[in-house]
Amino acid sequence: MKQYKQLLCGWILAMGLTACGGGGGGGDSASSGSSPADASGSSEEEPVTMASIKVAPGYDFTTSQQLEVNVDVSAVTDQRAYIAFYQDWSGSDSNPVPNPDSQLLMKVTDNGKLSQTITIGKQQQSLLMVVMFADTGISPVTDVFAVDGEGYAYP
C-alpha cells in the first residue's frame, strides 16, 4: 500500500511538472535572444552595485530609537496599577481603544511609578499610554502623546 501511494504521488508530481512546460519559440521577443537595448542599438547600462551607491557622510542607518518613559500615578492610588504602551489604537485621541497586537510594553507596579526605556521605530509619530488600576472604582487613564525624541513623562 505504501509503494502504491509513493508511485501515485510520483506520477502526480511528474504530470504537474510536465504540464508547467517550457516556452515555445513562437516569435516571442523575450525568447529570441535579443534584448530591447540590443534592438535599438544602445549599449547596456552598468549594473548598480553596493560599491557604486553614494551616501551622505553622517547618514544615520538606524531604524529604531530609544524612548525613556516615566509614569507616576501614585497620587491617584497606592495600589497595584498596570501601565501599557501601544503603537496603534482606534477611536479618537480623547477616547482611544488600544489594539492589543500593537502593545510595546505592559508593566505592573505596586507603587504607581514606572521608569523604563522602550525601543520604537523611527517612523512612529505617536504612542498611547494606558494605566489600568486593580481598584475597579478608579477609571483607567489614557494619554496619546507625540514621540519627539525627548522622552515621555506622565503626569
Closest residue by Cα to residue 109 from 63, 53, 143, 69: 69
pLDDT tens column, 7-48: 666 767 776 666 555 555 555 544 445 555 555 555 688 888
Amino acid identity, position 144: V
pLDDT tens column, 143-152: 999 999 899 9
Domain ranges in the chain are 77-154
pTM for the predicted model, two decimal places:
0.64
β 97-98/103-109 pair status = unpaired
